């Protein structure tokens, strides 16, 4: 399972397993696709996330949000998306079931293999979302944090 460095601004970010980041992006995508969110180039942004969820960025996955989130309004919109994604995951209880993991729409066979073994703790995905929220707010100060998830 390869790791990737997720950064948003000024090289600040964290290292995480690509498979786990794909799972985080899946839930962000599911929220962002809703019509109440408007961002410039939203369709392209969703396409970029879908590309990563499907495993087509293996070995070189990046966040890439700097291309889509440029104004304070964009930051506020994306903050709301992340907050709502976090709330959704909190409402799922302690774990995502194997059925929920199997329902993730991806072409990535490695992703499916890695996540078919046991339920995934929602608290670990929330930990990543909290880091992304801090990155958007400009309060994330680490350049090379190891986001090891307990799975």
Per-residue tens of pLDDT for the chain, all 151 residues: 689 899 988 888 999 999 999 999 999 999 999 999 999 899 999 999 999 999 998 777 888 888 889 899 999 999 999 999 999 999 999 999 999 999 999 999 999 998 999 999 999 999 999 999 999 999 999 888 999 898 9
Classify 74 as helix, strand or coil.
Answer: helix
- Rounded CA separation 122/115 (Å): 13
In the numeric block, which tokens belong to residue 129? 């979302």
CB 26 within 8 A of CB 127: no
- Rounded CA separation 130/85 (Å): 11
pTM of the model: 0.94
Classify 3 as helix, strand or coil.
Answer: strand
């Amino acid at each position: 399972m390869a790791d990737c460095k997720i950064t948003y601004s000024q090289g600040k970010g964290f290292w995480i397993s690509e498979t786990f980041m794909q799972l985080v992006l899946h839930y962000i995508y599911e929220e962002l696709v809703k019509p109440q969110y408007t961002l410039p180039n939203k369709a392209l942004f969703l396409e970029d996330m879908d590309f990563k969820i499907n495993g087509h960025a293996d070995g070189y996955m990046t966040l890439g949000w700097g291309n889509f989130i440029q104004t304070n309004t964009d930051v506020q919109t994306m903050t709301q998306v992340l907050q709502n994604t976090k709330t959704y995951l909190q409402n799922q209880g302690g774990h995502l079931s194997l059925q929920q993991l199997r329902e993730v729409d991806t072409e990535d066979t490695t992703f499916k293999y890695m996540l078919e073994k046991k339920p995934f703790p929602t608290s670990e995905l929330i930990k990543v979302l909290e880091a992304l929220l801090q990155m958007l707010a400009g309060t994330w100060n680490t350049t090379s944090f190891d986001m090891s998830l307990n799975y």
